[in-house]
Structure 1
Amino acid sequence: DIEPVRDEEKSGDQYDDYWFVYGTVDGRQSFSAKELTIQPGTKCRSQDPGASSWITVQGRDRIGSFDLQTPAMIRFGADTTDKLFISHTVATDGVEIENLGTERLVGLRYFGPDTHKNPPKAGS
């Protein structure tokens, strides 16, 4: 089992950034993922070394100028506003993420190969 590991450098008083997929497969960092939790009414600046895919799994938020929300029900063929792609330029410059709701916001970021230089080791 791989336990989530809090990223102390990327976490603050009102928000927590956790590694939940990390380590290597056959000696290579094929992919990684992090969970960002932000308390209601809080903003934080997220900065990563590479592009990622974001999905809001709980709550309502704004990333840059985009409003996102976890869907309560999805109908066949309907568009949802819970996902977006964070480009390399935006990720490395940093982007403001704001919890617009009354409950904690939970968002997941998925990264491609070799994005992070020093992810935790499996079993950390």
Structure 2
Amino acid sequence: MAADHYPYGFLVENCPEDKKHDIDFILSLIDWEKNTDPEFRKHYFRPPLHSAGQNGVFEEKWITYGNEYIAAKELTIEPGKTVTVKDHSAYGCIVIQGHGKFGIYDAEAAQVIRFGQMTSDEFFVSEEKAKSGVVISNHSKYEPMVILKHFVSNQDVPKA
């Protein structure tokens, strides 16, 4: 069986037309110094930062921040709890652990996904709904529900 791969066009789609087959040009686009930095963690690691929470109910923390373009939060809801979560901007999210409700929708972390099978682990929240709040319930008796939320822009993102 052949390995899956992306077509060559994906690699060069943003290159000038006359450079699409110039391997030296393509390799020059890589920042070799940053990509081989032996002190990468020291220079770029950012520990998670507490964002919101209520002891024994939920915790939310920034896990990707300090960048004006992208950011991410990890939301953990304790077993049997329901929370209303508000944000200042639209976001996409994925349930990575647990099951319950995300607004009016069933939500659960996918364990095994077969080709063509639907899942209920990914959601998009509009800016309007993010500002008014999304009600999320963890229906498990024992397991936390964990959701990763990713933002393109959010005025609350901490600086580096």
Q: Is the TM-score greater than 0.5?
A: yes
Which one-letter code corresponds to 1:5 in the other structure? L
In the alignment, what sits opposite 1:2?
46
In the alignment, what sits opposite 1:83?
122
- Identity rate of aligned residues, in percent? 34
Tell me the CA shift for residue 47 of structure 1: 0.2
Which of 15, 20, 24 is residue 58 of structure 2 equivalent to? 15
C-alpha distance in structure 2 between counterparts of 1:121 and 1:88, whole Å: 22
1:120 aligns with 2:133: no
TM-score by length of 1: 0.87
1:54-106 C-alpha deviation (Å, 9 max, x unpaired): 10000002111011111121001211110111111110111111111130010
Aligned ranges 1:28-67 → 2 under 5 Å: 29-67=68-106
1:110 aligns with 2:147: no
C-alpha distance in structure 2 between counterparts of 1:6 and 1:88, whole Å: 22
Structure 1 residue runs of 4+, over 3 Å off? none
Greater C-alpha radius of gyration: 2
1:20-45 C-alpha deviation (Å, 9 max, x unpaired): 00002xxxx10110000010010111
Higher percent of residues as strand = 1
- Specify the SS of the correspondent of 2:53: coil
Tell me the CA shift for residue 120 of structure 1: 2.1
* Paired positions, count: 114
Unaligned 5+ runs, structure 1: none
Higher percent of residues as helix = 2
Tell me the CA shift for residue 121 of structure 1: 2.5
